[in-house]
Amino acid sequence: MQPVILLVRPQLVENIGTTARAMLNCGLEQLRLVAPRDPWPLDNTHQARMLAAASGADAVLEQASVFPSLAEAIGDLHTLYAATARPRDMLKPVLTPRLAMVEVRQRLAAGEKIGFLFGPERTGLTNDDLSVVEKIITIPANPAFSSFNLAQAVLVLAYEWCSQQQEAHPETLAYGKTRPATKAELQHFFDHLERELEAHGFFTTPELKPSMVQNLRNALLRGQWSEQEVRTWHGVVTALARNAR
Amino acid sequence: MQPVILLVRPQLVENIGTTARAMLNCGLEQLRLVAPRDPWPLDNTHQARMLAAASGADAVLEQASVFPSLAEAIGDLHTLYAATARPRDMLKPVLTPRLAMVEVRQRLAAGEKIGFLFGPERTGLTNDDLSVVEKIITIPANPAFSSFNLAQAVLVLAYEWCSQQQEAHPETLAYGKTRPATKAELQHFFDHLERELEAHGFFTTPELKPSMVQNLRNALLRGQWSEQEVRTWHGVVTALARNAR
């Protein structure tokens, strides 16, 4: 089972299309539209604009249901979450998208049907809309610029849906007294190495040179060299390039 | 310090604008453009289209730097990550956005400058582009529909940037032999309650009724009632509404 995405009074068919794309990118396919501004079914012009924005997510749009009111759209659902940046003067639990999705997975596993509400582009959800939801999801955002595009807000929820909970154990590399090499330092070394390889007839087949160069660079990049190591390897290349005694 | 977002050969000025909006929503402000398709500085028409798409994130665009080549755009950076859905025939570490951002925060704290590369809309990054990066970030996606809009891909990374690592301890509610009430069951109860309150002269000031109704419903919704409890409360209202003996 999946959560249902409900767009409440969406104004722009383009945003309905980009929402469908974002949903399908993350494997969500259940879309409900509540009183969209443009009358449904859409005329050919609006339909074309919506499909262009969907970039191939047509299946989501074809299966979408349209309801005249929010009450009619939610009757079969058990728990509702509203995505809104603005905390209202309402006593509702507020969750991050991440925490909400952990909870939603538990609820779905227990057999509940879940809905996520998103408001109109310009005005957002009203207090009356919010009075039907159990909880509010607020996307962590820049307080000075917190208004998300409608499809972008849907994507954050959809991304949390498809993103598995992962243990975070990144490798570390102790550079000690040195520091990671900069790209300019590495490029200087690559130039040195490839110039000497060219001079020594390493690239026997000219048309294979670009992919050989890529493979050489990939092998060295994986080493995450320090500035000290780059200097050492300049010395290595210089030494190897000298005529043997 | 923040990571730098690099758009490599972006084709549509609208996507540059929506990228800026997504970045600023999540507090990222450092944007570099590598060989954008439309010549820079933009003419008035393209500039207007970009700014409309940015919805007010003009500051990011004004501070953006433009470079003729990728090599020139990355010289001062220490570690690069490329966002791409397609694993190429290249031996590169692949990370999720979440894991990558944990690592990036450590690298930034250690004084590194970090860049995230995003490819052109239609073709994505080439193997030559990828040969400069240490690691690849792949957004978890629907394998049948994995191509993200450019700004949507940027948003996922930006969202991971601003999303704090949160411990996930959602509350649970043991429904036992019953189940959560559906919205239709709850609405039926609200109608019952409000009808009886109306009949009993509870709403003395008509213009305050809508907000009073909202507050009543909010208080009851927070209880996350079971189907059993809804039936019980129907009985409560019915009983209270009867004339006292």
Please give the structure tokens belonging to residue B13. 């000025």
pLDDT higher than threshold 50 for residue A171: no
A181 vs B contacts (CB less than 8 Å): 78
B111 touches chain A (CB under 8 A): yes
- In a mutational test of the B interface, the residue from A32, A182, A190 whose CB has the highest number of chain B CBs within 10 Å is A182
* pLDDT over 70 at A13, yes or no: yes
Averaged pLDDT for residues A125-137: 89
A165 CB neighbours in chain B (<8 A) are 168
The verdict on a CB contact (< 8 Å) between A172 and B106 is yes
| B149 three-class SS | coil
Query: Number of H helices and number of E strands within chain B?
Result: 10, 7
Does the CA dihedral A13-A10-B222-B195 come out positive or negative?
A: negative
Q: Go through B81-97 and write b for each residue having 16 or more CB atoms within 10 A of its CB, e for each that does not.
A: bbbbbeeeeeebeebbb
CA distance B173 to A179: 51
Say yes or no to pLDDT of A147 above 50.
yes
Phi-psi bin for A12: left (phi > 0), alpha (psi -120 to 50), beta?
beta
pLDDT of residue A89: 65
The pLDDT value recorded for residue B88 is 57
Query: Cβ A183–B74 below 8 Å, yes or no?
Result: yes
Mean pLDDT of A3-7: 97
What 8-state DSSP symbol labels residue B32? E
In chain B, which residues have pLDDT < 70? 86-90, 164-175, 244-245
d(CA B138, CA A52): 25
| Residue A45, pLDDT score | 97
Q: What are the tens digits of pLDDT across the range A52-95?
A: 999 999 999 999 999 999 999 999 998 899 999 765 566 778 88
* Residue B93 contacts A, CB cutoff 8 Å: yes
pLDDT above 90: percentage of residues in chain A: 51
> What pTM value is reported for the model?
0.78
Identify the burial level of B34 via C-beta atoms within 10 angstroms of its C-beta, where 0-12 means exposed, 13-18 middle and 19 or more buried: buried
Spatial distance between the Cα atoms of A103 and B171, rounded to a whole number of angstroms:
8
CB-CB under 8 Å, A106 with B140? no
Q: Examine the pLDDT at A34 and tell me if it is beyond 80.
A: yes
pLDDT at A168: 42
Minimum CA–CA partner of B17 in chain A: A149
| Cβ-based neighbour number of residue A2 at 10 Å | 15
Q: How far is B42 from chain A (nearest CA, A)?
A: 24
Which chain A residue has the Cα nearest residue B106? A172
| pLDDT at position A244 | 59
- Torsion angle in degrees (nearest 10) through CA of A213, A219, A224, A225: -70
Residue A245 confidence (pLDDT) above 70: no
**Backbone phi and psi for residue B177, each to the nearest 5 degrees, phi listed first:** -80, -10
Q: For the residues A161-183, what does the mean pLDDT come to?
A: 64
Asked if the C-beta of B150 comes within 8 angstroms of chain A's C-beta atoms, the answer is: no
CB contact under 8 A, A127 and B214: yes
Given CB atoms, is B221 within the 8 Å cutoff of chain A?
yes
Report pLDDT for B31.
98
The pLDDT value given to residue B234: 87
pLDDT tens column, A100-122: 998 898 889 888 899 999 999 99
Predicted complex ipTM = 0.76
- Among the partner residues A71, A148, A180, nearest to B187 by beta-carbon distance: A71
Interchain contact, B141 vs A26, CB within 8 Å = yes
Least confident of A6-20, A174-188, A226-240, B16-30: A174-188
Question: A181 to chain B, minimum CA–CA distance in Å?
Answer: 6
A127 pLDDT band, cuts 50/70/90, is: confident
Q: What is the pLDDT of residue A173?
A: 52
Residue B214's SS3 state is helix
- Residue among B57, B93, B163 minimizing CB distance to A145: B57
Is the Cβ–Cβ distance between B227 and B185 less than 8 Å? Answer: yes
CB contact under 8 A, A93 and B222: yes
Q: Is the pLDDT of residue A23 over 50?
A: yes
For A201, residues 6+ apart whose C-beta sits below 8 A from its C-beta are none
A243 or B19, which is more confident? B19
A77, A92, A162: residue with CB nearest B140: A162
Q: Which among A18, A146, A218 has the least Cβ separation from residue B90?
A: A218
Model confidence pLDDT, tens digit, residues A206-230: 998 998 888 888 878 877 788 888 9
Residue B235 pLDDT: 86
Interface of A with B in 16-55 (CB under 8 A): 18, 21-22, 24-27, 55
Q: List the single residue in B with minimal CA-CA distance to A58.
A: B145
Q: Where are the strands (E) in B1-40, listed by range?
A: 4-8, 31-34
Does A161 score more than 70 pLDDT? yes
Q: What is the mean pLDDT of chain A?
A: 88
User: Closest Cα of chain A to B7: distance in Å?
Assistant: 18
- pLDDT at residue number B102: 86
Higher pLDDT, A164 or A16: A16
Q: Which pair of tokens denotes residue A47?
A: 């339909």
Q: Does B222 reach chain A within 8 Å, measured CB to CB?
A: yes
CA atoms within 13 A on the CB side of B226: 10
